[in-house]
Amino acid sequence: MKTRILGKDSPLEVSAIGLGCMGMSHGYGPARDPKEMEKVIHAAVERGVTFFDTAECYGPYVNEALVGRALAPFRGRVRIATKFGITVQGGPGGKQVVDSRPEVIRASCEGSLRRLGVEAIDLYYQHRVDPKIPPEEVAGAVAALIREGKVRHWGMSEAGVDTIRRAHAVCPLTAVQSEYSMMWREPEAALIPALEELGVGLVPFSPLGKGFLTATIGADATFGKDDFRSVVPRFSPEHLAANQRLAGLMRDLAAGKGCTPAQIALAWVLAQKPWIVPIPGTRRLDRLEENLAAADVALSERELADIRAALDALPVSGDRYPPELAARVGK
């Protein structure tokens, strides 16, 4: 597996493709057998993955514990990213509350260290911006944790450019995590240019469009209440039907390149900048192997230009978040 560098002021070297672990226990239907998920994580390490993503609120808590157990034999060989700033009230399935008060950040850090079984968190993201707490104050709280050796690098997730700049001026960011894919290219307008200027890496989550870019989700697909996509407008019946044109494009591109739609989608993300590291999630070994093989799919400048023109001609139907969740991003 090839590697990439996230961040300029505080560089972090990781595998070119990471593994998003959320779906193993949260967000995409029932949690899977932890022992089986540990096998998938072990298989990722064996295939060269060194970058694993989790969060305090996934579960809550159980996903961090799963990742910590699975990666315990590989300490020093892998890098774990986790997140603070979203607490869950009322246990699993409870209400999510954005909270980045410094005392909450510190308590969250201690809990994550314990569940992950590590002495320091490799990359610690603010999961969502807390509009009540200035970004300078958040950055200062994380800087204290870095000085104490409890955090090595830090980042923000789904933050707006102005907030990123303000936080970076206090404590340099290594990475920003945001959705970015052939299905959601909005970061190209302002976020990616700002990150390039600042020397901050980008870690795209949902680089496969929450599974849609695999071209396996038909117009008649349905999702259970424990699947996040059940509340995402983009996955409602009318929008799924409209977006089948994009699924057809993915199949055509894959056939022309001799690979799969998922590999085209990931290769496209990788080709945008050398400091972009996608973290597709999966619970299946065959999908893991398929995704990782995308690192060897090379797209020429001509192919990239043709793909961009095709995407421009196929606007995506449906918002990526319901209104209450959309209100939490881009702050």
Residue 275: name the closest of 174, 185, 187 by CA: 174
At position 292, the amino acid (one-letter code) is L
61 catalytic? Reply is no
Which CATH superfamily, name and number, covers 3-326? NADP-dependent oxidoreductase domain (3.20.20.100)
DSSP-derived letter for residue 32 is P
- Region 259-285 average pLDDT: 98
- Region 23-34 average pLDDT: 95
Q: What percentage of the chain has pLDDT greater than the value 70?
A: 100
Catalytic residue among 28, 58, 124, 125: 58
What's the pLDDT at 90? 81
CA–CA separation, 173 and 125 (whole Å) = 9
- Region 118-145 average pLDDT: 98
- Region 116-131 average pLDDT: 98
CA–CA separation, 280 and 181 (whole Å) = 11
Asked if residue 178 has pLDDT above 90, the reply is: yes
Q: For 215, phi and psi rounded to 5 degrees?
A: 60, 30
Q: Which helix (H) or strand (E) holds 140?
A: helix 135-147
Asked if residue 182 has pLDDT above 90, the reply is: yes
CA–CA separation, 14 and 95 (whole Å) = 33
Average pLDDT, the chain: 97
- Region 310-328 average pLDDT: 95
Q: Supply 311's token pair.
A: 């995407």
Q: What b/e sequence results for 114-142 when a residue is b if at least 16 CB atoms lie within 10 Å of its CB, and e otherwise?
A: ebbebebbbbbbbbbbbeebebebbbebb
**pLDDT tens by residue, 218-239:** 999 999 999 999 999 999 999 9
What pTM did the predictor assign?
Answer: 0.98
Cβ count within 10 A of residue 12: 20
Domain ranges of the chain: 3-326
